Structure 1
Amino acid sequence: MNAWMAGLLAVPAFAALSQAMERHHSQAGAALPALAAWGWRALGTALLLAALWVCLQRWGTSVAVAAWLGVLTPAALAVALVLTYAPRQVRAVAACSAAGAVGLGVRIFA
């Protein structure tokens, strides 16, 4: 379950990091102010670290890092596919994934 939660956190993380780039931000909506780019980067980094923390809660350090890298790969692929075929939907996909992670987190950590 923790790997699923980490994967669900990694999708909005990569979506946020993509929104920090001018090209992808303009695909999804409007122009990117300079300060907003830093906010997107901070959010993406925080979500990636949260996914790592979730893995560390279940496994030891070496296995957790390997599991974390393992869940980052399909998450990055999913965001890349959404950006390629439906760039305006990337924020909706990220929001649904984050909601799923929160729902799963409530179930796991309750």
Structure 2
Amino acid sequence: MMLLADLSPALLAYVGFALLSLVMDRHRRQLLPSANGWPPRITHAIRVLGWSLLLLSLWRSIHLWGVGIGLVAWFGVLSLAVFVLALLMSYFPHRVIWSAMAASVVCMPSMLMF
């Protein structure tokens, strides 16, 4: 369970970036070809949720490793999350949504326990 706690900032950052990519028209058409366009309220809600998950990732990183190491680790986690998301969007775009849902399910127990 401690491994999940250590991975939770990375998983939260990945889900946050995946949500932020859904707000952009080009990426939304790539990930969800059947979705034409969303109303501004839904777009705004997804954007707020994505940024909230990134801030939650920052808080979790600081909570786990302290301020000094936590901030540095968080920037590394952001880099890793964007790298994985960019690779998945380039080669396997249909798996981004499923991996984001799986990442959110995996990191929730660690968020509740620690």
Alignment correspondent of 2:49: 43
TM-score (ref. length: structure 2): 0.85
Compute the displacement of 1:88 (Å).
2.2
Alignment correspondent of 1:18: 21
Runs of 5+ consecutive residues of structure 2 not aligned to the other structure: none
Separation of aligned partners in 2, 1:33 and 1:74: 29
Alignment correspondent of 2:36: 31
Alignment correspondent of 1:59: 65
Of all paired residues, the percent bearing the same amino acid is 32
After the TM superposition, which parts of structure 1 deviate over 4 Å for at least 4 consecutive aligned residues? none
Q: Tell me the C-alpha RMSD between the 2 structures.
A: 1.5
Separation of aligned partners in 2, 1:56 and 1:50: 10
The range that moved more, 36-45 or 5-14, is 36-45
Decide which of 70, 91, 96 is 2:102's aligned counterpart: 96
